[in-house]
Structure 1
Amino acid sequence: MTPEEAVAEYLDVNPKSNGESTMRSHESRLGIFVDWCDDNEIEYMNDLSKEDLEAYREKREKKVKPRTLETQFQTLSVFVRYCESQGYVKPALSVEVPEIEVAEEDKSRDRYMTRERAKEVVSHLSRFNYASQDHALWLLLTDTGIRTCTLRSLDIDDFVELEDGTGYLNLEHRPKTGTRLKNKTASERQIPISSSTCEVLSDYIEHRRPDTIDRYGREPLIATEQGRISASAVRTRINKWSAPCLIGDCPHGRNPDTCRPATVAGDMNCPSKRSPHDLRKGYITYMRQNGWDGPTLSDNVDASADVIDRHYDKTDKEKKRKLHATILTEVVDDFE
Structure 2
Amino acid sequence: MLEPTSPREAVNEYLAEVQQELAAATAQNHKYRLDKFLTWTDEVGLDDMNEITGSLLQEFKQWLMGDVAKVTVKNHLSTVRQFVEFCEDINVAPKGVGRKIRLPTIQLGEDVSDVHILQKEAEMILEYCEDYEYATLRHTAFYILWHTGMRASALTGLDIGDYDNRANVLSLRHRPDEETPLKNKERSERDVYINDDVASVLDAFLDMHHPYVEDEYGRMPLLGGTQGRLHYTTIQRNIYTVTRPCHYTNECPHDRDLQECEATSYNTASKCPSSVAPHALRKGAATALRKQDVPKEVASERLDMSGNVLDKHYDKRTKREKMELRREYLNGI
Normalising by the smaller structure, the TM-score range is 0.7 to 0.9
Quick one: distance in 2 between partners of 1:271 and 1:28? 18
Counterpart in the other structure of 2:300: 298
Counterpart in the other structure of 2:169: 168
1:72 aligns with 2:73: no
1:137 aligns with 2:141: yes
Quick one: distance in 2 between partners of 1:263 and 1:30? 24
TM-score normalised over the length of structure 1: 0.79
1:196 aligns with 2:197: yes
1:222 aligns with 2:223: yes
Quick one: distance in 2 between partners of 1:108 and 1:173? 28
Offset of 1:54 from its aligned partner?
4.4
Q: Residue 279 of structure 1: which of 268, 278, 281 is its match?
A: 281
Counterpart in the other structure of 1:110: 114
Stretches of structure 1 lacking an aligned partner (at least 5 in a row): none
Contact 1:235 1:266 (C-alpha < 8 Å) held by counterparts: no
Q: Report the AA paired with residue 327 of structure 2.
A: A
Counterpart in the other structure of 1:19: 23
Q: Report the AA paired with residue 273 of structure 1.
A: S
Q: Report the AA paired with residue 234 of structure 1.
A: I
Offset of 1:188 from its aligned partner?
1.0
Counterpart in the other structure of 2:326: 324
TM-score normalised over the length of structure 2: 0.80
> 1:2 and 1:107, CA in 2 relative to 1: closer, same or farther beyond 3 A?
farther
Corresponding residue SS for 2:212 = coil
Quick one: distance in 2 between partners of 1:134 and 1:259? 22
Stretches of structure 2 lacking an aligned partner (at least 5 in a row): none
Q: Report the AA paired with residue 256 of structure 1.
A: L
Query: How many aligned positions are there?
Result: 325
Counterpart in the other structure of 1:307: 309
Quick one: distance in 2 between partners of 1:189 and 1:150? 11
Corresponding residue SS for 2:264 = helix
Offset of 1:140 from its aligned partner?
0.9
Quick one: distance in 1 between partners of 2:300 and 2:3? 44
Q: Deviations over 1:221-267 (max 9, x none)?
A: 11112212222221222222222233334152444344342354632
Q: Residue 269 of structure 2: which of 259, 267, 270 is its match?
A: 267
Q: Report the AA paired with residue 68 of structure 1.
A: T
Offset of 1:126 from its aligned partner?
2.0
Corresponding residue SS for 1:190 = strand
Q: How does 1:225-244 map to 2 (within 5 A)?
A: 225-244=226-245
Offset of 1:135 from its aligned partner?
2.5
Aligned-residue Cα RMSD (Å) equals 3.5
Does 63-72 or 16-25 show the bigger shift? Answer: 16-25
Identity over aligned residues, as a percent? Answer: 27
Q: Residue 125 of structure 1: which of 126, 129, 134 is its match?
A: 129
Quick one: distance in 1 between partners of 2:306 and 2:222? 27
Counterpart in the other structure of 1:186: 187
Does 139-148 or 201-210 show the bigger shift? Answer: 201-210
> 1:19 and 1:226, CA in 2 relative to 1: closer, same or farther beyond 3 A?
closer
Contact 2:112 2:313 (C-alpha < 8 Å) held by counterparts: yes
